[in-house]
Structure 1
């Protein structure tokens, strides 16, 4: 394992004390911490409802199910994302239909998405890749024009703003993720946010084994957060997608520090940019100019210049790792994953922009508490590895 890891969660005494408080309460599931976490996060992004779930993937699955998406349906989405965004579509029996991405923001664009829409298209699932919110407003306009819902996969974008709108406020529903490498973490977990009362009620029911939505019902605790009457009543197919009280308590403590966390991440990103901006062989992540935009930094991913390829990128990553610097390719294209090739017959060349970018990406170590010495180690080692590649190419 690398001495300098790719990511680290930012856990303080506040999170530890919050967990201890829950453990001492004896209420470990379906309790007040979950409800407060839902209310606070939904309020931050200006949504009426928050539904805490066990992961961002679970949240996407529930939103799609609540919209009635199933076999025979298509959902337009991006091939350049973590595989969970399209897996959630498959989990409903529907088909993910990919469209190529913008080479600057790395996001799905309205123009490419529109070309992929057919009579079977029932939704658009947009992803804020690496925390960049660009194009989400245009995707929302496109979805409205076709009278289909936009689902905002904001699992990588908590705290971001685009055109004066907060990430999490676009489309019919949005989903956040709280894996340990995200802006805030609950260990594992996610959150659906929406203004749609019916969708929220369905998601609450389905996350809890299809039991009735408890909102508005009188709660009579039985050990562990169960309620009398409805606990063994199941109105629909459901799942065990609940978020524990322990996880919700961690999330609340993290939310209390969100602005400080986002500032730390911006500082690390700015330090990287300052140290790498003169390096001609790489393309740095950028924030769109001319917009009221706040980038929420999820990871720090550079791209090698267009004349580099996958083999050279992989050698650079291997060199970083040999020198105890965590690094990774981020993301491999979804349509070229073995399962997707086998299931749908995708091949190299189907989405050339996404593929070209995917072949040249390098995720560098990125976490809140990185100090200038650590960043200098990463950037110096990267420059040495790139110089090595330059010599090999002569």
Structure 2
């Protein structure tokens, strides 16, 4: 039995939506993009949504639009996908890595507070694995220190804290639609904000620095080609139309894993619920407990891979990556202790209970062989 780590959920409705675009003369910057942006803004409950070519592009545009640049510091977790830190460096600002909370794996508010310096301009708050970060505490810190907040909600579409959706707390937020995400556009992302001025600038920056008042060959400032095609937008709109169904499927998958892995010695399972929050399940990540050695995780991953089961180490700390050698000495004890024990198991909408049972049995076999 071959089981991938992730697999997109594409129905005939999505195929028909994309095919319909190909029969029109609008393949970019057309009605599908406008409809996708409107629908997304309505779903998140923000006035503005701007479709972009990827979540990474969205994070970069937020840095640029907020005038974060050389000499500025941005607080960010190391336990996340590398794009978060890369977007800071694109503008020659400095990522300042801070530690995470051991239970939620999200940014520790206390660690944020300790990391603030006179050069700190912003906090990049990541909602790790679709579990909302402690936004009330982070907002309080930001207000007291006059800092911007950018939410990296790339893994958290549909997640909520205190009844408010992720993406509504900061100055801007970014979502991503890679094929392993809750909804996909193939490649793509969305920036949301309550600021009309910020939205206008991000729209211009994604389209070569061209504002709505400019003609096609007039460029007011340095911009980028971060547009999202009409085909991508049609796919995203069709997927968004069944977002609650998708989120329900994914929660059920998490609950099935919890049932099959309950009482398995040596494992720490992710919490199915978080206080005052709705988790949007992006991945299902288990952790090995302290009875295993630091290198046991890689042995278990090798066993699962050999058995045809897709799995991955989510996440490898950014500050230990070769491209971040200048940050290698960052003091992040919780990040380093937890990251070497995480394993992402196969997780997607249409995975069956038989497949989950098979993954669970192979995992237990790997655990027995490793201890």
- Does the CA contact (< 8 Å) of 1:309 and 1:359 recur in 2? no
- Does the CA contact (< 8 Å) of 1:132 and 1:287 recur in 2? no
Structure 1 position 108 matched with structure 2 position 107: yes
Q: Name the structure 1 match of 2:359.
A: 378
| 1:78-89 superposed matches below 5 A | 78-89=77-88
Q: Partner of 2:328: helix, strand, or coil?
A: coil
Structure 1 position 90 matched with structure 2 position 71: no
Structure 1 position 272 matched with structure 2 position 257: yes
Q: Name the structure 2 match of 1:124.
A: 123
- With the length of structure 2 as denominator, give the TM-score of the two structures: 0.98
Name the CA distance, whole Å, in 1 between partners of 2:119 and 2:297: 38
Q: Which runs of 5+ in 1 are unaligned?
A: 218-228
Q: Partner of 1:111: helix, strand, or coil?
A: helix
**1:293 to partner: Cα distance:** 1.6
Name the CA distance, whole Å, in 2 between partners of 1:160 and 1:109: 19
| 1:189-228 superposed matches below 5 A | 189-212=188-211, 214=212
Structure 1 position 346 matched with structure 2 position 328: yes
Name the CA distance, whole Å, in 2 between partners of 1:154 and 1:56: 9
Q: Partner of 1:133: helix, strand, or coil?
A: coil
Structure 1 position 358 matched with structure 2 position 361: no
Structure 1 position 297 matched with structure 2 position 281: yes
Name the CA distance, whole Å, in 2 between partners of 1:92 and 1:128: 23
Structure 2 CA distance for partners of 1:101 and 1:235, relative to 1, 3 Å: same
Name the CA distance, whole Å, in 2 between partners of 1:107 and 1:97: 15
- Does the CA contact (< 8 Å) of 1:309 and 1:360 recur in 2? no
Structure 1 position 146 matched with structure 2 position 137: no
Aligned residues: 371
| 1:16-31 superposed matches below 5 A | 16-31=15-30
Name the CA distance, whole Å, in 2 between partners of 1:293 and 1:148: 24
Q: Name the structure 2 match of 1:164.
A: 163
Name the CA distance, whole Å, in 1 between partners of 2:120 and 2:347: 37
| 1:36-55 superposed matches below 5 A | 36-55=35-54
Name the CA distance, whole Å, in 1 between partners of 2:100 and 2:327: 20
Name the CA distance, whole Å, in 1 between partners of 2:67 and 2:56: 17
**1:279 to partner: Cα distance:** 1.0
- With the length of structure 1 as denominator, give the TM-score of the two structures: 0.92
- Does the CA contact (< 8 Å) of 2:60 and 2:90 recur in 1? yes
**1:46 to partner: Cα distance:** 1.0
4+ aligned runs moved over 6 Å, structure 1: none
